[in-house]
Structure 1
Amino acid sequence: MTYNRRGLLLTLGAVGATGALAACGNGVGSSGAQTIDARVNATVNQMYAQYPGTRDLAAKSAGMLVMPLITEAGLGFGGGYGRGALRVNNATVDYYSVFKGSGGLQIGAQQYAHVLFFMTQDALGNFRRSPGWAAGANIEYAIPEGGETLAAETTTSLAPIIAVIFGKSGLHMGATLEGVKYTRIIP
């Protein structure tokens, strides 16, 4: 079997991304329900403090999926992972993991939080009935920068799902939810 430099770099990138994800404290292997709920509570409180307009989104939503810490890493091939909870009427009803895979020109690692606001009962029902829901074009992104207010009135009338991405740290290009798969878990 012959090895070339490109294959070696891609393999090292995939191994490195997997190692970074496993070592980043994002809940891989050690997060029980209490730990996930504590992280979800802290994330929601941080979001409300930094972006007060999200309180209106939460009040108007049928439910929200809170992912307190998503870690992405990549060198050629990359991946991302995190765990969180689905909240309906401010109570946890299910736990979910999120996985993201990617390939292409990339290098780096980053962490961020995100919350999906399900603005209709249909959107929430479709998410809960799905054995593995993949985020796609039906998501409206509201990425607040520097304490901006989110206009709940304009976005809720058009989008069944609104994603708020915040708390980014690290050096990696982009933070989108396209190509992300959510799966119900038992912590």
Structure 2
Amino acid sequence: MSQIFKPVFAILAVLMVATGAAHAASKEKIDRRTDKALAEFREDIGGADDVLARAAGVLVFPSIKKAGIGIGGEYGQGALRVGGQTVGYYSTASASIGFQLGAQARRQIIVFLDPKALEKFRYSNGWEIGVDASVTVVTVGAGGAIDATQLNQPIVAFVFDSKGLMYNLSLEGSKISRIHDD
């Protein structure tokens, strides 16, 4: 392992322990958090119901925690819903080097608008944004609105409910892995 990546992995490990990510939350806890995140998304964001109705699948990360001072890391756990039912549990993690300072917690909903993109995700063994698929990122503030008719990408991610301050919001390089066997 190169000398430059050792600090990145050390910070990611500290972040995971600090956020309780060293162990996967129970399925029930992830489902409760997912339900709450989806309810808030629908309540706070105009057009959310239309987007979710168009989705072949929805991957919800109720809380992703990110921290960094030059070197950073992030981690979160969530659920994949198809037809309103949970079909799998996942984690997202990434590490980065570059200009960044601060800490942030955010909600992230990845909407698979193309059934083929959803199928590729579900049957992959680990999935990395920017490598296995391109994801269009939409940052939405409270009271914001989405025009579902304007979404023409196969996979769209909505980032909302950010708390804290973090310069450098990108999903590129985020690794998503299954955490519970069904």
Q: Does TM-score exceed 0.5, indicating one fold?
A: yes
Amino acid at match of 2:94: K
Give the greater-gyration-radius structure (CA): 1
Residues 16 and 128 of structure 1: CA distance in aligned 2, closer, same or farther (over 3 Å): closer
- Equivalent residues in 2 for 1:76-87, closer than 5 Å: 76-87=70-81
Contact kept? 1:142, 1:150, Cα under 8 Å: no
The one of 19, 38, 41 equivalent to 1:24 is 19
Corresponding position of 1:45: 39
Moved more, 164-173 or 131-140: 131-140
Contact kept? 1:64, 1:86, Cα under 8 Å: yes
- Moved segments of 4+, more than 3 Å: 13-18
2: distance between equivalents of 1:30 and 1:134?
A: 19
Corresponding position of 1:113: 107
1: distance between equivalents of 2:119 and 2:59?
A: 13
Amino acid at match of 1:54: A
Amino acid at match of 2:141: E
Corresponding position of 2:173: 179
2: distance between equivalents of 1:19 and 1:152?
A: 39
1: distance between equivalents of 2:39 and 2:31?
A: 12
TM-score, L = length of structure 1: 0.85
Corresponding position of 1:169: 163
How many residues are treated as equivalent by the alignment? 175
Corresponding position of 1:151: 147
Amino acid at match of 2:26: G
Contact kept? 1:95, 1:184, Cα under 8 Å: yes
1: distance between equivalents of 2:48 and 2:62?
A: 15
Contact kept? 2:91, 2:176, Cα under 8 Å: yes
Is there any run of 5+ residues in structure 2 with no aligned partner, and where?
none
Corresponding position of 1:4: none
Corresponding position of 2:57: 63
SS, match of residue 139 in structure 2: coil
2: distance between equivalents of 1:133 and 1:15?
A: 22
Amino acid at match of 2:144: E
Corresponding position of 1:94: 88
Shift of 1:146: 4.1
Is there any run of 5+ residues in structure 1 with no aligned partner, and where?
1-6
